[in-house]
Amino acid sequence: MKQALGMKRGAVAAAVMMLLALAGCHGKSPAVDTTPVAHPFGDEVKLRQHLVQVALAREPADRIIRGATVLDVVTREWLPNQDIVIAGERIALVGDAGTWPGQASEIIDASGEYAVPGFGESHKHIESTYLTPEYEAALVIPRGNTWTIEDSHEISNVVGTHDVDFWLRAEKAGSPLKIFPSIGSATPPTIYEHGGGYYGYREMADFIEHDPSRVISLGEVMDWPAVSAPPSELGDGRGRIWEMIDATMDHRAVVEGHGSGLVKVDEINAFAASGLSSDHEARLAQEGLDKLRRGVFIEARVDLMRTLFPALIQHGLQDWSNVSVTTDDRDVLATQQLGSMDYNIRTAIESGVPPEIAYQMGSYNTARHFHLESILGSISPGRYADVVLLSDPKTVAITRVFVNGKLASKGTDYLLPIPKIDYPAWAHNTVNIGRALRADDFAIRAPAGRQEVKVALMEPFWFAPDFITDTLPVQADGTVVADPQRGIIKVAVVDRYHGHGDSTPSIAKMFWRNTGPKTPGSALASSQSHDLHNIWVIGNDDAAMALAVNTIADLHGGWVLVSGGKVVATVKLDIGGLMTQRPVDEVAGEMEALHNAADAMDWIGAPGLPDRMRFAFLTASPWKWQLVAPYDGNPIGFVNVTNGQTHAVVW
């Protein structure tokens, strides 16, 4: 054995010597070419090289914010009398006031003020404000919000492959709000819905590869039935969501979650095990704690903060780094009245959270979760110079906001120009219902010869395993109509993507309870209908419903309120049927007029505009039965989205 091993070693050595000889080395190591090759450094490295020289006072700075008490969100301590030295859009140095020996073009006195990093949304649908990104900037930057993780499955269902292009246009045109598109996983939301986009593995990979510095995550994964199904049951398109997860993980990006209704410990474990890294849908304090314990990043909305945060304080939580505060959905009028991220942080403080932790949850924690902490989330060298100055950190009293090194707002006044953006036709012309609708298109007909029928009933946010049933009389013409005095209204979902020319339009219709107008001849319609954004309409009169939907089509999207057979209020949302490219006050004024017109009407249940109806057609967990636009195999459109079971709406 030893002899054989020696022969093998000898053969290997001989072979090596032969190769060296053939290479002309004659037993010496081959020569290494040490000729330097010029490397074309990228923009980020060039910028960092400049920051180094500014920090060392070898090159001048653009401005210094001098004398503020700076919050270090990493160590959670206030550092008094600090200078923030800014070069271009970034911070070059943070240190004791007056000690940096370099020169700056401008010195801004911030003595007596407190400086915190620009606020970042961990989960927001900008579409829900009704504003395009350049006008969103004017709304939220004075309220401290300088960057946003945009969960884009609203516009993605409208513009399809143009998703990232849409979100980055404003910043390329000069808008200072930094938007990071989180690609809409719910495109489409379920296999029972078909809109303007379809995303699988290739689409997700293409988005990330197109701009990996901005496309950093997959938006909230909502299709829990598909995620939790055995792999053997992922046929017929149900595996699409796993394709997107696969592409995201292949590119080392972040997979965002949506854990609504998942409160049992085994479900929470399964949720975390799937790779879904976050949840903004927790509603119960214990649920939030249980998810934190399983490594889920909690994106807390205001409704959760008031219960979860006192519970976490009582629990003695020391490390809050896996918690953020966020908005999710808030329209322009509500934002004017309540605030943006400033309202979220203020609510956290009012819920007992120390201000240092509250500001950390509004900036640094989110940046770390999305692997953006090298450029965002703290007042630190190399990061964007997004600085919020406060007169009182406990009340989030904002005095000035700097974005990308420039003064962007004083108080609530936005100071920067709003760029003019020419959005393409694919963003404008998105409502296609075919022909003008007629009252008869909304009629629900009973089986022949019946004087009374059973009806399937739903109501907003009905999560029970079974729908409700009731009875309604049949009219002389064979139709079944709403009975608002009993709290029963007609609801319809109109396909706004595919059109059908002069043929029968694609409309699903049924009866709901506990919502809708009582005033005769009334209807309310909107093309804001999370998540697919078909047109929904509720009403007590078929002609009023037709008028409302036709007006939506004329506007290319929006809200329409009909009372007494006449249009009494509209909100035009002509970009994707979701947003509008108009000033904040103008859009907020239309929303206020819509609410005022609704206040003059009678409604089933609570008075006033039922604006949360725009979320009532979701098909994510925990929804079961839902009304969707008709599709192949289900001309009625009433379906259990967890298993595909269908049912008649009258029988």
Residue 3 has pLDDT above 50, yes or no: no
- The mean per-residue pLDDT over the stretch 197-207 comes to 97
Query: At 131, is the secondary structure helix, strand, or coil?
Result: strand
Residue 119 has pLDDT above 60, yes or no: yes
- 63-101: per-residue pLDDT in tens? 999 999 999 999 999 999 999 999 999 999 999 999 999
pLDDT band of residue 30 (cuts 50, 70, 90) is low
Which pLDDT score is estimated for 433?
Answer: 95
pLDDT band of residue 163 (cuts 50, 70, 90) is very high
Which pLDDT score is estimated for 237?
Answer: 82
Look up the pTM and report it.
0.92
Q: Look up residue 542 and give its two tokens.
A: 């078929």
Separation of alpha carbons 392 and 357, rounded Å = 15
pLDDT band of residue 11 (cuts 50, 70, 90) is low
- The mean per-residue pLDDT over the stretch 295-299 comes to 98
Bigger pLDDT: 37 or 40?
Answer: 40
- 281-294: per-residue pLDDT in tens? 999 999 999 999 99
Residue 57 has pLDDT above 90, yes or no: yes
- The mean per-residue pLDDT over the stretch 358-370 comes to 98
Residue 13 has pLDDT above 80, yes or no: no
Task: For residue 477, give the amino acid letter.
Answer: D
**Distance, C-alpha 112 to centroid of its chain:** 36
- 298-334: per-residue pLDDT in tens? 999 999 999 999 999 999 999 999 999 999 999 999 9
- 594-621: per-residue pLDDT in tens? 999 999 999 999 999 999 999 999 999 8
Mean pLDDT score of the chain, rounded to an integer?
Answer: 94
Q: CA-CA distances (angstroms) from residue 533 to 159, 406, 444, 590? A: 12, 37, 23, 20
- 409-444: per-residue pLDDT in tens? 999 999 999 999 999 999 999 999 999 999 999 999
Beta-sheet strand order (sheet of 119-124): 119-124, 145-151, 178-183, 217-221, 254-257
Q: Look up residue 539 and give its two tokens.
A: 């009403």
Query: At 484, is the secondary structure helix, strand, or coil?
Result: helix
- The mean per-residue pLDDT over the stretch 475-502 comes to 93
Nearest Cα to Cα of residue 77 among 116, 133, 27, 24: 116
User: Is the distance from CB of 262 to CB of 219 less than 8 angstroms?
Assistant: no
Percent of the chain clearing pLDDT 90 (strictly above) = 92
User: Is the distance from CB of 83 to CB of 66 less than 8 angstroms?
Assistant: yes
- 532-550: per-residue pLDDT in tens? 999 999 999 999 999 999 9
- 248-281: per-residue pLDDT in tens? 999 999 999 999 999 999 999 999 999 999 999 9
Which pLDDT score is estimated for 96?
Answer: 98
DSSP state, residue 408: E
Residue 20 has pLDDT above 70, yes or no: no
Nearest Cα to Cα of residue 281 among 321, 352, 334, 224: 224
- The mean per-residue pLDDT over the stretch 185-208 comes to 96
Q: Look up residue 100 and give its two tokens.
A: 């940096």
Q: Which residue has the tokens 């319809």?
A: 492
Which pLDDT score is estimated for 25?
Answer: 47
Task: For residue 210, give the amino acid letter.
Answer: H
- 100-112: per-residue pLDDT in tens? 999 999 999 999 9
